[in-house]
Amino acid sequence: MIIMAPILLILLGVTEILQADLLPDEKISLLPPVNFTIKVTGLAQVLLHWEPNPDQEQRNVNLEYQVKINAPKEDDYETRITESNCVTILHQGFSASVRTILQNDHSFLASSWVSAQVHAPPGSPGTSVVNLTCTTNTTADNYSHLRPYQVSLHCTWLVGTDAPEDTQYFLYYRYGSWTEECKEYSKDILERNIACWFPRTFIHSRGRDWLVVLVNGSSKHTAIKPFDQLFALHTIDQINPPLNVTAEIEGTRLSIQWEKPVSAFPIHCFDYEVKIHNTRNGYLQIEKMMTNAFISIIDDLSKYDVQVRAAVSSMCREAGLWSEWSQPIYVGNDEQKPLRKWFLFVLMATICLILLILSLICRICHLWTKLFPPIPEPKSNIKDFFVTPNYEGNPDLAG
């Protein structure tokens, strides 16, 4: 134990020295970055760039940077590099700040902030589009082996409330590094563009990048303010209905099967809802499934219409929209079975025949009069009571 004590003291001293080297000196002065710039590099995309302060005292420490987005939506994060890409709407302008930081589990040091901004684009208030909505849809491309599925894009909007009548709008989208301008527009009665259709795009339906849509415009009377918007694909992707829905009845057993929708997602990436409607009593049954088959016990004397719809499962991406219901499939028969109809017919005929036979028997055997004899009329002696006797004509009585 006496020999071990000096060794422990030496190890403790070395540990303290190493910790002193690793911990930042609380007296160190952190200087803010320099040459902080914000550059627009694409639709709704900016590059933030700065440089370390050349007067910053160099120590055996790793400096970091804290970035704070001030507008249009507040956010902050940390990074070790001196630039950062940011996807954000720009029609309201953009501003950000950055500072140097030094931190560990025991302390936190930070320099002052430096800031930069991108001004909002010019334009008269009330001239930009409103209610911009977009949807995507996937179709099969049998002519391309590299991309067997194509994604279309459809966007609609309303004209700005203060936009002049000669205003014309133009739409662009960006997905990843691809940017395209719309070529197919729908117009209102004043020939102003109010909708756009891309039958084929560079959008990947299984991708996770933001879809950026920008609508700007022009007019001879005033500057039209542009408008941009970010869309997450899972919130606008209109899934196709399931394919080849079939339904058949065996006794009281209803079997329904279908195939996955046209989609780049594999078969295990779908949830389904099955809707069974009893047309005779109006009963509606909806069941959620993870497979492409369903069996139900039913009333075999009713008629049913069956529909199925699909949605991409949360196992493969964030929850999104349900597809439209498939076309209804009609099965069963709400008419009564032939045997039952014949039974009712025979029963009614038998009852009528029995009544007819009984009626004939009653007439032949005069049982009717015997069972219900006529009631005789009562004999009246009132006239005899009022008759006066005539004695004059009778000599015996006269004497």
The reply to whether 56 and 139 lie within a common domain is no
pLDDT of residue 385: 44
Task: Answer whether residue 10 is part of any domain.
Answer: no
The reply to whether 143 and 227 lie within a common domain is yes
The reply to whether 105 and 148 lie within a common domain is no
Nearest to 231 by CA among 247, 198, 257, 207: 207
Ordered per-residue pLDDT tens for the chain, 399 residues: 445 444 544 444 444 444 444 444 456 789 999 999 999 999 999 999 999 999 888 777 788 999 999 999 999 999 999 999 999 999 999 999 999 999 877 788 999 999 999 999 999 999 999 999 999 999 988 766 677 899 999 999 999 999 999 999 999 999 999 999 999 999 999 999 999 999 999 999 899 999 999 999 999 999 999 999 999 999 999 999 999 999 999 989 999 999 999 999 999 999 999 999 999 888 999 999 999 999 999 887 889 999 999 999 999 999 899 999 999 999 987 665 555 556 667 788 888 888 878 777 766 766 556 655 666 655 555 445 444 455 444 444 444
Task: Answer whether residue 141 is part of any domain.
Answer: yes
The reply to whether 136 and 107 lie within a common domain is no
Show the domain range for 293. 246-331
CA–CA dist 55, 33 (Å, integer): 10
Task: Answer whether residue 338 is part of any domain.
Answer: no
CATH number at residue 327: 2.60.40.10
Task: Answer whether residue 367 is part of any domain.
Answer: no
The reply to whether 114 and 167 lie within a common domain is no
The reply to whether 91 and 138 lie within a common domain is no
Write down which residue in 194, 213, 238 finishes a domain.
238
Write down which residue in 305, 331, 357 finishes a domain.
331
The reply to whether 49 and 101 lie within a common domain is yes
pLDDT of residue 19: 44
Task: Answer whether residue 384 is part of any domain.
Answer: no
Question: Are the C-beta atoms of 198 and 152 separated by less than 8 Å?
Answer: yes
Write down which residue in 197, 219, 238 finishes a domain.
238
The reply to whether 151 and 215 lie within a common domain is yes
The reply to whether 101 and 157 lie within a common domain is no
Task: Answer whether residue 345 is part of any domain.
Answer: no
Q: State the pairing for strand pair 114-118/94-103.
A: antiparallel
Task: Answer whether residue 41 is part of any domain.
Answer: yes
According to DSSP H, which parts of the chain are helical? Answer: 4-22, 233-236, 338-364, 367-371, 382-385, 395-398
The reply to whether 234 and 250 lie within a common domain is no
The pTM for the full model equals 0.74
The reply to whether 143 and 225 lie within a common domain is yes
How many domains does one find in the chain?
3
pLDDT of residue 363: 66
pLDDT of residue 28: 74
Rg of the chain (C-alpha set): 47
The reply to whether 265 and 226 lie within a common domain is no
DSSP label at 239? P
Contacts of 273 (CB under 8 A, 6+ apart): 286, 287, 288, 289, 308, 309, 310, 311, 322
pLDDT of residue 301: 83
191 exposure class (CB count in 10 Å sphere: 0-12, 13-18, 19+): exposed
Task: Answer whether residue 269 is part of any domain.
Answer: yes
